[in-house]
Structure 1
Amino acid sequence: MSTIVSFKNVQKTYDGETLVVKNLNLDIEEGEFLTMLGPSGSGKTTCLMMLAGFETATHGEILLQGKPINRIPPERRNIGMVFQSYALFPHKSVAENLAFPLKVRKIARDEIARKVKRALAMVNMEKFANRMPAQLSGGQQQRIAVARALVFEPALVLMDEPLGALDKQLREQMQYEIKQIHEQSGLTVVYVTHDQGEALTMSDRIAVFNNGIIQQLASPSALYEKPENAFVARFIGESNELKGIVSAVDRERCTVDLDGGHRVRASAGSAIRKTGSASISLRPERIAVGESAHACDNVFSGGVKDLIYYGDHLRVVMQVCGRNDFIVKLPNDGAVRQLRIGDSVDIGWMAEACRALQ
């Protein structure tokens, strides 16, 4: 697999003082689906806009297929772009919207017709070629926006929060469809979102941004199972955080003494090499309750403060280890239906289920 995009020591500032992007070094592989994920103001969208050519890097170099593109205008970069706002021409039909980028490139008329038909087929919209954008639903308009980004067969497709305006069910359907298009076409996709679930569902790799820096670059499973710092643990999925002092380190495990006298055995994150302050990240679904807790490395007594019904699972808010907002997720079966607010129950988790981070 070859590298299609490289950011080399890229920085961006708007005011000459504050760096929105700080010394970014990132290689994107040909054919992969890479997501830039992070909160508002983290630098992810700025990186995408610099790659697209709508923003200029203050320092450093961006390479596309091995060639510097910093000074190449957006229309000459051969990059497809999909926005949240669809950005379709309201006065042009669906077919005319798709033909526009081909006409700009002076493609022959019969070739335009062939490419437009092929792009519509990729998004299952062949029957809508003569419709106007106003005659389409939000999901249909987004399919056309995706087709327009693919129609001229670009080297790279960039997507900036493309599903943000859709409702939950349609958004999930479009996630699946975009991923299918990516897998079938072999395109390279760079996707920007602040939605963790979207990133985990669609991506080959995820770059988690905060304060203009990539905090971690890894596969979805690696980010979820082995976050490298507390920010990534908090931002990817849901996590209980317990703070304490590392009192012992034994290869890949460590012992953390929590405030209040409790002690936890945990897997040691990459930064845990010696004693010192640390936070423990523990996913709510990795916690056992009742008799099954007694076989775990870490066993505590907890008080049930609230029970929230989610259909397929029960969210239990507990008082544990001095925390009043400790979350446990349990599958909705007969055992959990016996829990009541005010109950005192044993809970536990294995050392491998929690991760000590610095």
Structure 2
Amino acid sequence: MPSTDTAFVRFADVQKTYDGETLVVKNLNLAIRRGEFLTMLGPSGSGKTTCLMMLAGFEAATHGEIFLDGRPINHVPPYRRDIGMVFQNYALFPHMSVAENLAFPLEVRGMAKDVIAAKVKRALEMVRLESFANRRPAQLSGGQQQRIALARALVFEPKLVLMDEPLGALDKQLRENMQYEIKHLHERLGITVVYVTHDQGEALTMSDRVAVFNDGVIQQLAPPAELYEAPENAFVAQFIGENNRLLGRVRTVDGPYCDVEVAGAVVRALAVNVQGPGAATTLSLRPERVVLANGTDGYPNRFPGRVEELIYHGDHIRTRVNVLGHDDFIIKVPNRAGHANDLRPGDPVTVAWLAEDCRALDPQPD
């Protein structure tokens, strides 16, 4: 993580509406540190791409101000913002060679030919495609095209690089490889990256921090591990990773813990975001934190259940259980010899988890 707390990019009370009535982005205040890899993550229509387009200069903020390196840029045209862009569709010129594509942003800046040649060579080395300089984009694979698009965004050494779903068109394995390529480039070059995606796995893999958007508002801004381990509300818990959701009502609150009534039983949980006794709440529980318990020690939450479905995933058995009135409760049972192999649909089981692994959050509709 960057050591400085100075904001390199800052959104100050930024709003955006397209029709004058509905706010697509609502009072956004966000500070991005120099050298940080920040991902804007959220479902379609959450406002994340609009924020990126306002930062790039392709959309104008309806209200508020955007700052880059301490300078207001609302009225600065895109080509003067010194920002590199990488899109999902690569946007490479098909009639130009790879080298010509990389040279183009340097030529429009009026750089000398020898300087351009040196920068193009360095950019190709950066993405390990030195031998592809004379090829046309159509002669490259999807992954190679994306690496060239990345090199073109970096070739003029911009202050900031913006990436809008850059890996969306790639297959799964290539997408995962490119995630590490981009992450390692960021670490090596120390550039500031703002990345937009709807893929939570991608965000967790690549980012220093993730801003989770929904309905034009940042729901939580935190490092990946904190988002996954300590979601602040039910939306983040459900959107980041796999999650078991139990709807209940708070009975008592005891310091950091609370007792919640769910389907006539009482569940012990962390009181993270609850209104107090009598209030509705959503319990959040990760599938890998649940066990099929044989002993009785150490688990304050123990409930009878019934196996509904078993799906083999190699390293674990995805076990769907009916428990506490929910037939879609998931447990990831580690695939250890003799541990889950004997389970069958219809078998009675005891399901258990720790209070520390169960978070009581804001109420959500069923």
TM-score interval w.r.t. the shorter chain? over 0.9
CA contact (8 A) 1:32 1:188 kept: yes
- Correspondent of 1:345 among 349, 352, 358: 349
**Letter aligned with residue 284 of structure 1:** P
What's the TM-score, normalizing by structure 1? 0.98
Which shows bigger deviation, 338-347 or 41-50?
A: 338-347
**258, 271, 274: which one pairs with 1:272?**
274
Q: Distance in 2 between matches of 1:203 and 1:186?
A: 13
CA drift at 1:250: 1.9
Alignment RMSD? 0.9
Give yes or no for the alignment of 1:240 onto 2:244: yes
1:120 aligns with 2:124: yes
1:42 offset after TM fit, Å?
Answer: 0.2
Tell whether 2:21 aligns with 1:17: yes
Q: Which of these residues, 302, 307, 311, is aligned with residue 310 of structure 2?
A: 307
Equivalent pairs counted in the alignment come to: 356
Identity of aligned residues (%): 68
CA apart distance, 1:272 = 2.7
- Write the letter of the residue equivalent to 2:119: K
Question: Which of residues 254, 257, 263 in structure 2 aligns to 1:253?
Answer: 257
More moved, 184-193 vs 245-254: 245-254
Which letter maps to 1:350? L
How far apart in 2 are the matches of 1:293 and 1:184? Answer: 50
Q: Distance in 2 between matches of 1:120 and 1:292?
A: 59
1:154-206 residue CA offsets vs partner (Å, 9 max, x unmatched): 00000000000000000000000000000000000000000000000000000
Alignment of 1:142-161 (within 5 A): 142-161=146-165
How far 1:273 moved relative to its partner?
5.5
Tell me the distance in 2 between the aligned counterparts of 1:256 and 1:34.
36
Tell whether 2:329 aligns with 1:326: yes
Following the alignment from structure 2 to structure 1, what is the Cα–Cα distance between the partners of residues 159 and 8? Answer: 8
User: CA shift at 1:312, angstroms?
Assistant: 1.5
By how many angstroms is 1:293 displaced? 6.5
Structure 1 stretch 140-149 or stretch 295-304: which is displaced more? 295-304
Partner secondary structure for residue 110 of structure 2: coil
Please give the alpha-carbon distance, in whole angstroms, between the structure 1 residues aligned to 2:285 and 2:194: 30
1:35-69 per-residue CA deviation (whole Å, 9 max, x = no partner) reads 00000000000000000000000110000001110
Map 1:103-142 onto structure 2 (within 5 A): 103-142=107-146
* 1:290 CA drift (Å): 3.1
Offset at residue 3 of structure 1 (A): 1.3
1:10–1:62: 8 Å Cα contact kept in structure 2? Answer: yes
Q: Pick one of 42, 47, 51 that aligns with 2:46.
A: 42
Deviation at 1:313? 1.2
Residue 299 of structure 2 corresponds to: 296
Counterpart-to-counterpart distance in 1, 2:192 and 2:55: 13
Partner of 1:177: 181
Aligned residue for 1:333, secondary structure, equals coil
1:286 paired with 2:271, answer no
Contact 1:36 1:192 in 2 (8 A): yes
CA distance in 1, matches of 2:234, 2:9: 29
Tell me whether 287-296 or 15-24 shows the greater mean CA deviation: 287-296
Give the secondary-structure state (helix, strand or coil) at the position aligned to 1:16. Answer: coil
Question: For residues 205 and 167 of structure 2, what CA distance do their matches in structure 1 show?
Answer: 13
Match of 2:234 in 1: 230
Distance 1:12 1:203 in 2: 25
Unaligned 5+ residue runs, structure 2?
A: none
Task: Report if the CA contact (8 A) 1:294-1:348 is conserved.
Answer: no
Q: In 2, are the aligned partners of 1:293 and 1:346 still within 8 Å (CA)?
A: no
Q: 1:292 and 1:60, CA in 2 relative to 1: closer, same or farther beyond 3 A?
A: farther
Give the Å deviation of 1:127.
1.1
Which amino acid in the other structure matches residue 290 of structure 2? I
Taking the aligned partners of 1:134 and 1:154, their CA distance within structure 2 comes to 27
Per the TM alignment, residue 118 of structure 1 is displaced from its structure 2 partner at its CA by 0.9
The amino acid that maps onto 1:137 is: S
In structure 1, the gaps of 5 or more residues are none
